[in-house]
Amino acid sequence: MNCELKNSLRPLTGEGRKLFIETYGCQMNVGDTEIVVSILQQEGYRYTEQIAEADVILINTCSIRDNAEQRIWGRLSEMRRFRKAKPSLIIGIIGCMAERLKERLTEGRDAVDVVAGPDAYRDLPRLLREAEAGGHGVNTLLSTEETYAEIAPVRLDKNGVSAFIAIMRGCNNYCSYCVVPYTRGIERSRDPETIVREARELFANGYKEVTLLGQNVNSYRFGEVNFPELMRRVAAINPALRVRFATSHPKDISDELLEVMASHENICRTIHLPAQSGSSAMLKRMNRKYTREWYLERVAAIRRYMPDCAITTDLIAGFSGETEEEHRETLSLMREVGYEFAYMFKYSERPGTFASKHLPDDISEELKTARLQEIIELQNELSMESNRRDIGKEFSILVEGTSKRRKDQLFGRNSQNKVVVFDAADGVKVGDYVRVRVSDCTPATLLGKRIE
Ligand code: 5AD
Ligand code: SF4
């Protein structure tokens, strides 16, 4: 019997078996989980949201900071308890922690049945077969080519309005504090035709917003197609399809991209531009490859092209050698830019990174906490100021759902990605665009009234 025939007669590994996946970390991981579900459904597994009925539990993990990993270890020991009640249960760790801690996860008391790195998901059916036969299924090979380009993700979040599309994988930037280049491998871009097709299909299925995702979307390149060109193509699908993207590395955000954004109303007016620090000396230690002045010039360029564009950021408090003066420079950068929103973190040393080998983690936990607190308090003020400036303005809102607090209110987002809450009205439903005038705000939300 030839091999192909044998394969077609082989019962699907997953036939009737139920798969539960828990996802930690970034949007990239959320997208990867949707690819994993797609691959395993092909193999006959059925996805379940009920952990109690699962035959296979996978945890899609994050290694970006130590506290992310600690949470996952805690969760893993809870899951082992499930296995006491159901000895046939298979438990797998996939994603960044699988890549980073393969030895620990395959031997001794922390061992799990399946370990699969971010580029090994097509191999999961085989890995699960090995585990079911009583062995360990392990694959943590990183690839230079894998983009899962043609795999249609199974959309797990139910809003049906907004979806993420991974356009590239990996990262080549090697910021000195960051583990991502080691866990997700080198940067590679996905064929633009598969991206445009995926976006088109989403729109045909009622989606109204896509977010193109990569660690550094500005360095997207596939043949002749660079990121601005990809944005042009996705934005051309339909004016009623909003297009967003994340994340932009400040060293690479080009005028060409800003021009494309400014000339398409359906490309949203928001740019996530992680600064990490406001001090040029610190940025050098972080290997970010730009200075404070460069960053501020790029912010000025964004404002020149799109005066109404929101700018959001990531900031790290207490990286190696951070002086009081350098910390003050981060605060002054925040004020100068006036960020709409920020993700703010305490530095967490990651084994294997350049910093872990050459730059001491020498800021005390107390000082990191105090500096982070200052950053958070300032950001709260800036977010509130930004929201206050919106009072009286009109926005087009894409309706996403019913407000959690009040059933008679709906919420959606404006182009700047701010959440806007307004009174529900007959005929307005999820997925509609409505015009709303802002009448009030909290630090996190705009409150508005619909304009008929
Ligand atoms: N410690 C703290 N924050 C980190 N980030 C990345 N690595 C670390 C680390 N070791 C933050 C950066 C990045 C975001 C995704 O996570 O701000 O932009
Ligand atoms: Fe990490 Fe820097 Fe790559 Fe972002 S750009 S994933 S911070 S190495």
What number does the ligand 2 atom closest to the CA of 216 have? Answer: 5
Ligand 2 pocket residue status of 47, Cβ below 6 Å: no
Which one, of 386, 393, 374, lies nearest residue 326 by Cα?
A: 374
Q: Positive or negative, the Cα torsion across 254, 258, 259, 261?
A: positive
Task: Please count the CA atoms within 13 angstroms of the CA of 259 that sit on its side-chain side.
Answer: 6
d(CA 359, CA 192): 39
d(CA 90, CA 114): 8
Which one, of 67, 141, 132, 28, lies nearest residue 348 by Cα?
A: 67
Cα–ligand 2 centroid distance for 198 (angstroms)? 26
Ligand 1 pocket residue status of 345, Cβ below 6 Å: yes
What number does the ligand 1 atom closest to the CA of 179 have? Answer: 7
pLDDT in tens, the chain (452 residues): 444 444 455 567 788 899 999 999 999 999 999 999 999 999 999 999 999 999 999 999 999 999 999 999 999 999 988 888 899 999 999 999 999 999 999 988 889 999 999 999 999 999 999 999 999 999 999 999 999 999 999 999 878 999 999 999 999 999 999 999 999 999 999 999 999 999 999 999 999 999 999 999 999 999 999 999 999 999 999 999 999 999 999 999 999 999 999 999 999 999 999 999 999 999 999 999 999 999 999 999 999 999 999 999 999 999 999 999 999 999 999 999 999 999 999 999 999 999 999 999 999 999 999 999 999 999 999 999 999 999 999 999 999 999 988 889 999 999 999 999 999 988 899 999 999 999 999 999 999 999 97
**What's the pLDDT score for residue 109?**
85
The DSSP-derived string for 235-250 is HTS-TTSEEEEE---T
3-class state of residue 34 by DSSP? helix
Radius of gyration of the chain (CA): 23
End-to-end Cα separation, the chain, in angstroms:
69
**What's the pLDDT score for residue 11?**
63
CA 421 to chain centre: 24
Are 99 and 380 a contacting pair, CB within 8 Å?
Answer: no
Whether the upstream peptide bond of residue 61 has omega within 30° of 0, thus cis, is no
3-class state of residue 247 by DSSP? coil
Are 276 and 242 a contacting pair, CB within 8 Å?
Answer: no
**Where is 98: in which H helix or E strand?**
helix 96-100
d(CA 63, CA 65): 6
Are 139 and 116 a contacting pair, CB within 8 Å?
Answer: yes
Residue nearest to atom 4 of ligand 2 (CA): 215
Q: Which of 62, 176, 178 to mutate to test the pocket of ligand 1 (most atoms within 8 A of CB)?
A: 178
The ligand placed nearest to the CA atom of residue 181 is 2
d(CA 87, CA 52): 13
The ligand placed nearest to the CA atom of residue 174 is 2
Ligand 1 pocket residue status of 330, Cβ below 6 Å: no
Q: Positive or negative, the Cα torsion across 427, 430, 431, 436?
A: positive
Q: Which residues are 438's β-sheet partners? A: 448
Cα–ligand 1 centroid distance for 338 (angstroms)? 21
Ligand 2 pocket residue status of 215, Cβ below 6 Å: yes
The DSSP-derived string for 47-61 is E-S-GGG-SEEEEEE
Residue nearest to atom 6 of ligand 1 (CA): 178
What residue has token string 């009205």?
A: 425
Ligand 2 pocket residue status of 90, Cβ below 6 Å: no
3-class state of residue 21 by DSSP? strand
Instruction: Count Cβ atoms below 10 Å from residue 38 Cβ, excluding itself.
Output: 17
Q: Which of 345, 346, 356 to mutate to test the pocket of ligand 1 (most atoms within 8 A of CB)?
A: 345
d(CA 313, CA 176): 18
The ligand placed nearest to the CA atom of residue 62 is 1
Ligand 2 pocket residue status of 171, Cβ below 6 Å: yes
